[in-house]
Structure 1
Amino acid sequence: MLLTAGGGGRAAETVKSAEQFATGKGLIADRASLPGARIFAENCAFCHNGSVPKAPHLQWLEMLQPQAVVDAMTKGVMREQAAALSPDDKLRVAEYITRVDLRDGLPKISLPPMCKDGAAGFDRSRPVVAAGWGHDTRRYVAAAQAGLSADDLKRLELKWSYAFPNASKARSQPSIGLGAVFVGSEDGRVYAFDLKTGCAKWIYQAAGEVRTGVVLVDGPTPSVYFGDILGRLYAVDALTGKERWSKRLDEHPSATITATPLYHDGRIYAPVSSLEVVPAADPNYPCCTFRGSMVALDANDGREVWRFWAIPERPRLLGKTAAGADIYGPSGAPMWLSPTLDAARGLIYAGTGENYSSPADENSDSIFAIDIASGKRVWHRQTITGDAWNVACMMADNPNCPTEKGPDFDHSSSPLLVDLPGGKQLLLVGHKNGTVYALDPDKAGALLWQVKVGRGSIQGGVHFGMAVEGTTLYVPINDMNNLRDGKVMDAAAARPGMHAVDILAGKLLWSRVQANVCGSDRPFCDPGISAAVTALPGAVVAGHLDGHVRAYARKDGALLWDFDTVRDFVGVNGMHGRGGGMSGAGAAIGDGHVVINSGYGLYFHEPGNMLLVFGPADKAR
């Protein structure tokens, strides 16, 4: 759905906070007593409690925003099933599912002002910044594209901001080009903002949260490509915001698209992951039947060209748990990371996460080389063995926890294909266990060296993305301590912060372990770097979980710039918003600007709902 008008003024906003997500505090605790409980039981429960394979489980639905639930019943995929419900019934169902108090109706929102006159169009003379996920996973922006130097970073100031409505997290990687910034949001809106002023050139409404980056591709018909949390991939005209095509990539009820798709030579390569680890927490859930995949599609019409399955065989019934639930396997190996292109060898590199059920097989926690023409496996290399895990493992004596019980050390950070002097190349792979591996792409991924940079944790070690400039590899480390999952972490061994590795020698160059500036009044604040980092000549920019965005010098890691986003803002839409922890998406750098999202109200982190756009202080907005 395309929106062509924006709202103005300030609006009250109800968001689920990090504390609410982590502890339930602030949400409606006794969901069973709500009026929507009966309506859900009579009209929805049969399908959404596991009886219908394509219907998402309740534990998955409760992560949606109330507006998204209502929209699904009024104009979305559940329109026919909910036809007999009154508007108030639908509101009560949304209240029951999300546990957000809706007695006063849905939260009001304000959208950005729509661009007028010349600002409404796009400047085709301003290049697309084809660096980062979707184009080049090295996440290095050359000087001509960046429009900034390392010295410019010292003079950055906030030019404008936008407070995302209906959001407690902002994790879609922005893209810069054509005089605009393109970004997705938690309530499914995808925006094309004017880079200079923040007015909206167009707004598109997807079916669910757009967690992936928005990949901007120039050409005869400039387009943007992105996926949503419901597993649907979209192609939208970049100049008009009109949908070209959309397609759900996997019929599994828990399938989702979390990784930014890759564009190359008229095709889109989209990894498919899932949230089946969540319903597996129900002891009666038959765990598990999802298996990760990569889908190649024609970028023009969405036609499927090939599909690569991380686990070649379908899961089969293996037995029953002590609670009597069916056990299926092998399962899991979701694809969380944005794929890496190797055009010269005709390959795409992808990675997988853990298995969801026992037995753990040889396809979890692996790097795959996939033939770009056929989708066939060329080689694969498993980093660690015996990793099977789901959310049941975070609960005492839950029979759905696999016998391996983790450690849940996925590959969630894209491989980096980098050039060496003399024409050789390396494939650099970061892992949640805190290790960086250098693989030989000419010898089926043979290990050349490895270096332990961080301690590792369920949320990294290396979590969402490294960057490289020349022979310097930037390695962000999370090493979160307060996992609260029963595991005892060695806090003294944690190395949260920014690190640099010499890729020729496989040796650590420098480390900037970040001191904890959170304080006792911020229990969901951490010093580590979970988000992907972005490099430009002479520096790297990183968003931290403590809400600071920091820039470090390539030479020695000296701090060049530090901006604390955990503060109140008034966005161009007139809404009050606030920054928070940063995870997933990193900074977009291009056309003289640094654009970053702030807020990650999930998994024990601080919420926020801000898009922040920076430029040097002595340059006009």
Structure 2
Amino acid sequence: MSRTRTRALGAAAAVAALALPAGAAAVTWPTGGQNLDNSRFQPAERTIGPVNAATLAPKWQFATGADTTTGGDVSATPAVDGNTVYFPDSKGKLWALNRSTGAVRWSTAIAPITGFPGDYARATPALAGQTLIIGTQSGKFETPQTDPDVAGSYVLGFDKGTGALLWKTRIDTHFTGIVTQSAQVNGNTAYVGVASNEEAFANAIFAGQPYACCSFRGVMAALDVATGAIKWKTYMTPPDPGYSGGAVWGSTPAIDTKRDAVYVATGNNYSLPEDVLDCVNAATTDTAKRACIPFDDHFDAIVALDLKTGAVKWSYKALASDAWNVDCGLPGFVPGDTNDPSNCPEGQGPDYDFGQAPLLFSATVGGKKVDLVGAGQKSGDFTAVNRDTGAKLWKTNVGPGGLTGGLQWGSATDGRRIYVAESNSTGAQRGWWAALRPSDGQVLWQTNDLGSGLEPYFGVFGYSAQGPVSVANGVVYGCSLSIDGTMVAMDAASGAVKWSKLTGASCLGGAAIADGTVYWGTGYRTFAPLTTAGNTLYAFTPGGS
């Protein structure tokens, strides 16, 4: 829980413009999910719609380096305010550009701040007044030998006008900890989850050394916006030895201020105590398996927490059991490691994380309005539960599941429909985008990924519509990890493709829509090395003007 407070570091930022002027326009895409509902919906958009989406063209484009070896992937949804667009890249830079011209206002490097060479951020920055908040991937650059006084995962606060560092918080102390989630801000508090690299570190091929796995416990935390001080932390697995996982890594937390609740979703267990595994493996029904696992093991779950204290209000677990790590192997890519120690849990699960945070929506069911919270899972299922109790209302299988989806990174809703991206990552056929009816999950339309080439995530799979979707003014935006990196704009009512662009670089980033402009990035090679490299942020407008 250590925290370092620092004054502005002039050397840390290359300032190319003055701070934002007083009276600047309000934030227009302040975090990954756009709003407290995490709906990825821009309600204020009036310029781009189904009628003119076909005219979208680049107004400007910005490369993070001279080429894709010096410039990093842009896989986060950009954050946007009245004057500036903000985003990180995978080479370790955090950028602020003039949103009208693409000119650099400032940039700063992450690694000198955290002290881990190669460190970077990959999530959407969260904007809170003059403060920009973002977590880092420090745990990918640490080992069991890392100094325990500095090991762990970090969240950073910057002055959004200058890029000067305001504070640095070590949010968790496990050496594999990473922050993949975009923070959600409500008042003077930022809410963000912690995931880890330990699931991969369990395999000696990745770790480069024997490692007895696992001990990381997923975390949800609340931080003071002004200072970075930790207000509360809640772990997603029990403290008893043997329990691990429950990472909080997908998209952006959702907040319901009337219910005083923040909603997150979690991943699988990396490990379970031996006696619990024995119980699960001996059980013959899901009911019996669930009885083996304690309530406070919140794996593959949608979890509601108290905004002020972090106490768990309820937890919906999608599976009866799911203990898995990379020591079990990645089919067609990484073999399982049977060396001593063998870390793959006996009776391994399918690795069906909720790979995206929940979104909030309401539906009319039986003539009554019901407030719901829903999320997509790597199983390909989208599940909607009661916002007060966690009781399941419906679950729809959108498509096949797999280690990389299924559904990941972020769904969207405009209140009329829920929009999802189905990766179909383990199939030979392409993925797709779909719309679901909020009241019962019925699939209303489906549009196939338009990618014209293979998506070589692990070198063996087909097309993949894996990135988050966004929606604004009747248009849904999604993109493809295919080798040509197709970006698509679809009619929200029918799924008809109104516009597409072959970027020439695999795309996993989400679109941010603000005042008639779509901001969208390319590249995902840092995580998926066989995909087509990209390092560009685009600004699309009707006619490119």
TM range (shorter): 0.7 to 0.9
In structure 1, distance between residues paired with 2:103 and 2:495: 36
Q: Show structure 1 runs of 5+ residues with no match.
A: 7-113, 317-328, 482-488, 567-579
1:246 alignment partner in structure 2: 168
State the match for 2:394 in structure 1.
449
**1:336 matched residue in structure 2:** 249
Match of 2:371 among 425, 448, 452: 425
Unaligned runs of 5+ residues in structure 2 are 1-8, 112-118, 139-152, 278-292, 330-334
Q: Is the 8 A contact 2:34 2:40 kept in 1?
A: no
Residue aligning to 1:565 = 503
Indicate the structure (1 or 2) with the bigger Cα radius of gyration. Answer: 1
1:462–1:477: 8 Å Cα contact kept in structure 2?
yes
Matches within 5 A, 1:342-361: 342-359=256-273, 361=293
Q: 1:277 is paired with a residue of what secondary structure?
A: helix
| 1:404 partnered with 2:317 | no
Instruction: Give the aligned partner of residue 484 of structure 1.
Output: none
Deviation at 1:134, TM superposition (A): 6.4
Instruction: Pick one of 141, 152, 155 that aligns with 2:55.
Output: 155
Give 2:230's match in structure 1, choosing from 295, 298, 304: 304
* Selected match of 1:140 from 14, 38, 41: 41
**Residues 79-114 of structure 1 deviation map (CA, whole Å, 9 limit, x = unaligned):** xxxxxxxxxxxxxxxxxxxxxxxxxxxxxxxxxxx7
Following the alignment from structure 1 to structure 2, what is the Cα–Cα distance between the partners of residues 429 and 510? Answer: 18
1:611, CA displacement in angstroms?
1.3
What is the SS of the residue equivalent to 1:151?
coil
Query: Quick check: 1:227 aligned with 2:135?
Result: yes
CA–CA separation in structure 1 for the residues paired with 2:314 and 2:415: 27
Give the Cα separation in 2 of the matches to 1:256 and 1:179: 30
Which residue among 128, 131, 140 is the counterpart of 1:217?
Answer: 128
1:337-363 Cα deviation digits (max 9, x unpaired): 221111110001111111112346542
Aligned to 2:506: 581
Q: Give the match for residue 554 of structure 1.
A: 492
- How big is the shift at 1:5? 8.2
Map of 1:174 onto structure 2: 78
- Relative distance call for 1:618 and 1:478 in structure 2 (3 A) is closer
Contact 2:13 2:163 survives alignment (8 Å): no
Structure 1 residues 225-251: Cα deviation after superposition (integer angstroms, max 9, x where no partner): 111111211111112221111111111
Change (3 A) 1:598 1:122: farther
| 1:553 aligned partner, one-letter code | D
2:184 matched to 1:262? yes
Question: How many pairs align?
Answer: 468
Aligned equivalents of 1:588, 1:526: Cα separation in 2:
27
State the alpha-carbon separation in 1 of the partners of residues 462 and 71 from structure 2: 21
* Structure showing the higher helix proportion among its residues: 1
Q: Which amino acid aligns with 1:597?
A: G
Shift in Å at residue 175 of structure 1?
0.8
Residues 617, 381 of structure 1: alpha-carbon distance in 2 compared, 3 angstrom cutoff: same
- Give the structure-2-normalised TM-score: 0.81
User: In the alignment, which residue of structure 1 is the partner of 2:445?
Assistant: 510
Inter-CA distance 599–458: structure 2 relative to 1 (3 Å threshold): same
Separation in 1, partners of 2:344, 2:413: 38
Give CA-to-partner distance per residue, 1:307-342, whole Å, 9 cap, x none: 11101314x2xxxxxxxxxxxx11111111221111
Structure 1 length normalisation: TM-score? 0.71
Q: CA deviation at 1:377?
A: 0.8
| 8 Å CA contact retained: 1:160, 1:613 | yes
- Cα distance, 1:133 vs. partner? 2.4
Which residue of structure 1 aligns with residue 357 of structure 2?
414
Partner of 1:533: 469
Secondary structure of the 2:435 match is strand
SS of match in other structure, 2:86: strand
For 1:520 and 1:458, locate their aligned partners in 2 and report how far apart those are by CA, in whole Å.
Answer: 15
Q: State the match for 1:590 in structure 2.
A: 514
What is the root-mean-square deviation in Å for CA atoms of aligned residues? 2.4
Shift, 1:524, TM fit: 7.5
Q: Secondary structure at the match of 1:312?
A: coil
Secondary structure of 2:344 counterpart: coil
CA separation of 1:274/1:396 partners in 2, compared to 1, >3 Å: closer, same or farther? closer
**What displacement does 1:200 show?**
1.3
User: SS at 1:272's partner residue?
Assistant: strand
Displacement of 1:513: 2.2
- Aligned partner letter, 1:148: I
TM-aligned CA distance change 1:122 to 1:433, over 3 Å: farther
Change (3 A) 1:128 1:145: farther
User: What is the percent sequence identity of the aligned residues?
Assistant: 29
1:435 aligned residue: 381
